[in-house]
Structure 1
């Protein structure tokens, strides 16, 4: 099987989902890598067992993976845990994602052409280009479905992402649950949303929804990033039933 791998954070990643649902006597996975440039780094991290953003074993090597370098440009990765090793990972059978991560010598071939079945793709990745300025609008789900671990992951991820923004960038934050709210940087809070009651005592939202404005978009500065992180750290889940009966 031939795969064109996704590039993530300047490395190629090949992920294989493994979930046989039982202990397998002859479980085996082989990954073959053939590149036109020299393979500079090649690693197989510990089995990814969940979708959590930060895993403690993400930087650990997979002791069951055997890497064989056939040449500077090719390699074979073999992963074949015995039934006993599978039980040590999970008594009900291995369940997770096996990831092969590698990179190549980009300096020697900054321009590459990949040809396959009459089609070609031109890769042009010079290393000396400056990072482009960007305007990012973060749209964050804070509805009841995000309660617990998910909202914690959202806060953690946003703290990391905000730290990665660069001077010259602009950003804004929108949160949504039953309604949409736009972050007010000046007051470091969502814009207020009005509610009213009808004659039956039901909650209805004001039809005027807050919109992104010039004041909602701020440049990346140490002060603005600090204030945004403070806002994100206070995010909690909430959900209001628009037609909820009030006793």
Structure 2
């Protein structure tokens, strides 16, 4: 009997809840009338988490005939990557074709590591397709996130179509785009084709890494000042077991000393703010350091080394305060960024000893009060909070701590969180930082923790504007739709990204950007406005997709 095709659809809301790993399995038995298809997800289904940054992703497909004890590996016949970065919003397509050269069943694995802030917008598998080189189905047939079709044939073929999306974040070197090429199989070759399109002129385009390290083999085309296309093909040397490579490049866009660039497509808009030429402001940072007993050993050693390097990089106009906490909170001292003051602070750091439990709530509240007490104008105030554990004393319920911090921090000083080790309450740190216009990161102990801590602080070491506020007229913008990527301060090398939806009946957006600079209050008017008509299908509107992406990131606390 000819088996019936199987069609599996997972809706958008369900996939937005997936995190960490997703495993898809399709089993085919010759004795059954139809293949069995299973989808299993190892996921955190937090009630607020409509999405989670996609971590390394594993799709496991077991298919093609009888299941036997000896399962020969499948062969990859084609591996292609194409990307399109339109106004800093990247959509990446991965196509992998595999076959089972044996008559016995084989386990075919499609493995793809994604950027930690990316999410999957589409995954389609074709199993035993009569013509395995067919392109993906038309757009109107590709709306489901997962679609599996199975027809039994004399040879087994699988085609994987994966699409993921991400917003390129600006750093010190500009925007970085990376594709991880680690398929876990022997592949004959890899092809990469990426196009960058922007309204502004592209600058500082440079390829950083390619599989095989043959950077000179990358073909570059420059059709215009705001466009570049990079293509690269690499054949795997014979006898090589697998490929473990990265295709990455960086670029930037021309910047001006103004209120930024606003793009509008239909009723959706995105506003990029990263003015050029602003002088550095003085910064005051309250460092809140966990010295509870769980920090004993390598953690406290690495913390001391990193803090010493961070403090020695302070500028004379900067100031900082050191707090430690375990069962109670203690103030080590208030210091200026001068050489002699830094030496005094370093000696205090070197003398830290671990002790006691973890009182997160008291530490947060004490640090906020210290920021509020600072009597200094034109200074960017901020908190850096580092812990390796969960609250074990005082107020211990995460949501109570979060609410207390939100209520206490009425001035919305940015709070940056750093988690150390597997026991830290990273979710709480992320939520607190998101509530208070900052961000949280996890320090990976398996790599150079000291380097990670220093790199983190360098992102917030050079504020150019404090208390950045973007004002949109109520009759032009649905204010409840506005979402923001970025912090309350604007830092050198950074960017504030805001997206939203126009108000009913509005046709355009006018905006003002306000904040404080080195000399006092500063206001920018947004004069660069690029308007385009709405697309026929909303899913083809990249600004609408970018707005949805940012909204998901905000709701998930990332």
Distance 1:29 1:64 in 2: 12
Answer yes or no: is the 8 Å Cα contact 1:33–1:76 preserved in 2: yes
Matched with 2:439 is none
Q: 1:216 aligns with which of 319, 333, 337?
A: 333
Cα offset, 1:115, TM superposition:
2.5
Structure 1 residues 158, 44: closer, same or farther in 2, change over 3 A? farther
Matched with 2:243 is 93
Q: How many residues align?
A: 192
Identify which range, 12-21 or 104-113, moves more after superposition: 104-113
Matched with 2:472 is none
Cα offset, 1:33, TM superposition:
0.6
The answer as to 2:218 corresponding to 1:68 is no
Answer yes or no: is the 8 Å Cα contact 1:155–1:235 preserved in 2: no
Matched with 2:251 is 102
Structure 1 residues 108, 236: closer, same or farther in 2, change over 3 A? closer
Secondary structure of 1:81's counterpart equals strand
Distance 1:211 1:109 in 2: 43
| TM-score computed with the length of structure 2 as normaliser | 0.29
Structure 1 residues 147, 21: closer, same or farther in 2, change over 3 A? farther
Asked which structure has the greater RCO (Cα within 8 Å, sep 6+), the reply is 1
The answer as to 2:14 corresponding to 1:14 is no
> Residue by residue, what CA displacement relative to the aligned partner does 1:180-238 show, whole Å, maximum 9, x if unpaired?
36xxxxxxxxxxxxxxxxxxxxxxxxx5x2333xx523221122334445666x59997
| TM-score computed with the length of structure 1 as normaliser | 0.58
The answer as to 2:229 corresponding to 1:112 is no
Higher strand share: 2
> Residue by residue, what CA displacement relative to the aligned partner does 1:6-26 show, whole Å, maximum 9, x if unpaired?
111161122323321123223
Instruction: Show structure 2 runs of 5+ residues with no match.
Output: 1-83, 91-166, 359-558
Distance 2:271 2:172 in 1: 19
Matched with 1:169 is 318
Answer yes or no: is the 8 Å Cα contact 2:258–2:275 preserved in 1: no
Answer yes or no: is the 8 Å Cα contact 1:6–1:14 preserved in 2: no
Cα offset, 1:241, TM superposition:
9.9
